[in-house]
Structure 1
Amino acid sequence: MQKKRRSLNQVKEDISIRVLREKLPKEWVVHTYGADYGIDCVIELFDFVDDDQKTTETLGENFFVQLKSSDCISYTTRRVYSRGNVSKGALHENKDDYKEIEVAKFQLDMSDILTIQSMGIAIPVLLILVDTNTEKSFFVCLNDYIDKILIPEDPSYFKKTSKTIYIPTANEILDNEDSLVAFRAYGKRSKMYGAFSLFNYQLKEILRLQGVAASPHLISFEDTISMIKTFTTISLKQDIWSGHEFWQPIQWSHKELIELEKAINEGIDPAEKEQFLEYCSHYIWHRLTNLSNMYEELVREWFMPSYLALLTSYPPEEKTST
């Protein structure tokens, strides 16, 4: 009678899970899935709540992972060109301005790609590739890759059976805080999209207070200040302001909201109502709602195998040059 056996693929899977756990902070939790339906695990972010680092608390942040492993990864370089914003139109590249990026190649089934695309972009799915020979691991956000790389470069991608995914080797997962910046940003993504929707709603209501919206909502000075104060309080309670020290626009808007809250508490002169509302709509909430634009155009291209990502994703000493 045949004894129990383990395939090479099962061995590789065990190695990849072990390597991933070893490279992530010990307080983070890896929730593994059973049958493979395109998602292998969910990473839940925790932080210590005491100086002795004995107790951790969930941040309410997570991201999905499609975990792959191989003992014969193809390492090569990918030429990337400066290009126009692919969120606004077709791909237009400047062939005279390019850089070379070191990448690891992986062939991903189209069924996996289409499954991830159907999930939307609010909760990121990371492809994490583990080299079982060196135990190095690399990541790329597949949601962003589909929109920023795959669709612009191959609009008929869905007709293929698989696609080659190019993962920058600069996206290596290392056991240090700099390496975790991307993961912390991905973990906050769903909160960011929730905040973007809230800020847009608040701006529309402020414009109604000013009488410049399609359906004006003209109320007393006291009720106007009360509404702006409520908007400010709710905005400051959004769990997006910490953990984004690497993205200055978030820090700027946070500081402006705190200053606005202080000004309201100190009192607003009724004679300055119109000026105050204009300051809120044209300055504070204009910048808050513009965060979503910058997020789409810039943040979602971080850590991609692209020219822009090379310039914006890594510390200066880690940038690749031609």
Structure 2
Amino acid sequence: MGRPSHPARLRTRPGSRGLPPCPGRGGKQMYQTWGEHLYLQVKTTDKFKFSKHVEDDRVTPVLKFSIETAELKLVEAMGASVPVVLLVVDRADMKLFYVCLNDYISKKLAVSSPTWRDQQSITLYIPIRNEIRVTDEEFDGSSHWGYFARLAQRSKIYSAANLTHHYSVELEHASDKLFADEMDPTFFGPAAADYIHRVETFTNEVAELDIWRKTDNEWAALENHRQALNELKERTANLKAELKALDGPPESLLDSNFFLGRLDFLSSAFRTLSLLGREYEQTARLERLPGGDPFASHDEA
């Protein structure tokens, strides 16, 4: 194997993701690239070996494929943010199956075979539902191509998860300072304004991240976070305007539990937004794996 093949850069079809078609020179249709990528590693075999994988009373029809441990160690070293998809081709029947090696290592091998690194080779169990057929709709979100598009976006999601977590911690510290019992009331107004400014700055930066661009193939949980982000932006703007228009001494805000509660909501809302990475690890990275795939039908036994 040596190293995985060059990354496959996924491109959108004309007019997808909310963008209009882009006519090019000579009337040819142009495509917009977004910098999303994944790696594809192709293996061939003369005959597939089919079996069943049992996990937590879930029975998944699978094909068994052996791979050298050194190759999996390389994928592990590359990190989870760089998806490596193994494509296994049966030369006899001309069938093609796939599995994301990063996710298989982290979510399956690490759990079922903690000492897998000491072995010479590893037997992978690839769900037979991961078979690519030429009749598959290329841009159907539930198709294999839709799954590949979601994988290719992973580095952006990890970046967003890291950023929201960092800013959430920053706001927690700012919130502790804002609501400290020893806070001098005369400084509360400016401190509240500074806090709201921090929330506004952090939220605006997060809102500009590319993961919020709607696609046909996006991870479903993104919509919930998108709505939460929009609500956070709206409430922050309203609170900023209210503080600016305040009639009376800023310290009077200390007597308003309603106002304090709304300030606290901003921190809480951002903390919820920072759960993006955790949700991704718990659900999205199980997609297309044997047994614990939360997106698959488990009536396959």
TM-score (norm. length: structure 2)? 0.79
Retained in 2: the 8 A contact 1:184–1:243? no
Corresponding residue number in structure 2 for 1:67 = 42
* Cα offset, 1:61, TM superposition: 0.4
Is 1:123 aligned with 2:82? yes
Corresponding residue number in structure 2 for 1:5 = none
Counterpart amino acid of 1:291?
L
Corresponding residue number in structure 2 for 1:40 = 5
263-272 vs 245-254, which deviates more?
263-272
CA distance in 2, matches of 1:245, 1:184: 7
Is 1:222 aligned with 2:207? no
**Per the alignment, in what secondary structure is the counterpart of residue 196 of structure 1?**
helix
239-248 vs 253-262, which deviates more?
239-248
Q: 1:277 aligns with which of 263, 282, 296?
A: 263
CA distance in 2, matches of 1:280, 1:173: 45
Retained in 1: the 8 A contact 2:40–2:85? yes
Corresponding residue number in structure 1 for 2:121 = 162
CA distance in 2, matches of 1:152, 1:211: 38
* Cα offset, 1:279, TM superposition: 0.7
248 and 40 in structure 1: CA distance in 2 versus 1, 3 angstrom threshold: closer
Per-residue displacement from partner, 1:55-92 (whole Å, max 9, x unpaired)? 10112100111111122121222222x2xxxxxxxxxx
TM-score (norm. length: structure 1)? 0.74
Counterpart amino acid of 2:223?
Q
Per-residue displacement from partner, 1:142-183 (whole Å, max 9, x unpaired)? 111111111222222112111111111111224312322221
Retained in 1: the 8 A contact 2:7–2:40? yes
Q: 1:252 aligns with which of 203, 215, 224?
A: 224
CA distance in 2, matches of 1:279, 1:57: 38
Is 1:300 aligned with 2:285? yes
Corresponding residue number in structure 1 for 2:202 = 231
Retained in 1: the 8 A contact 2:149–2:217? no
Retained in 1: the 8 A contact 2:150–2:218? no
Is 1:148 aligned with 2:123? no
Describe how 1:1-322 pairs up with structure 2 within 5 A. Answer: 36-47=1-12, 48-49=14-15, 50-51=20-21, 54-80=29-55, 82=56, 98-174=57-133, 175-176=136-137, 177=140, 178-179=142-143, 180-211=145-176, 220-241=191-212, 242-243=214-215, 247-268=219-240, 269-270=242-243, 271=253, 273-282=259-268, 284-306=269-291, 308-309=292-293, 312-314=294-296, 316=297, 319-322=298-301
Retained in 2: the 8 A contact 1:62–1:188? yes
* Cα offset, 1:290, TM superposition: 1.5
* Cα offset, 1:276, TM superposition: 2.6
139-148 vs 48-57, which deviates more?
48-57
Structure 2: state its 5+ residue gaps: 244-252
Q: Percent identical across equivalent pairs?
A: 26
Larger radius of gyration: 2
Name segments (4+ residues, structure 1) moved above 6 Å: none
CA distance in 1, matches of 2:105, 2:217: 27
Per-residue displacement from partner, 1:92-111 (whole Å, max 9, x unpaired)? xxxxxx13211121110111
CA distance in 2, matches of 1:245, 1:42: 19
CA distance in 2, matches of 1:280, 1:267: 10
Residues matched between the structures, number: 262
* Cα offset, 1:40, TM superposition: 2.2
CA distance in 2, matches of 1:206, 1:276: 14
* Cα offset, 1:248, TM superposition: 3.7
Retained in 2: the 8 A contact 1:78–1:101? yes
104 and 321 in structure 1: CA distance in 2 versus 1, 3 angstrom threshold: closer
**Per the alignment, in what secondary structure is the counterpart of residue 35 of structure 2?**
strand
Q: Which one has more relative contact order, counting CA pairs under 8 Å at least 6 apart? A: 2
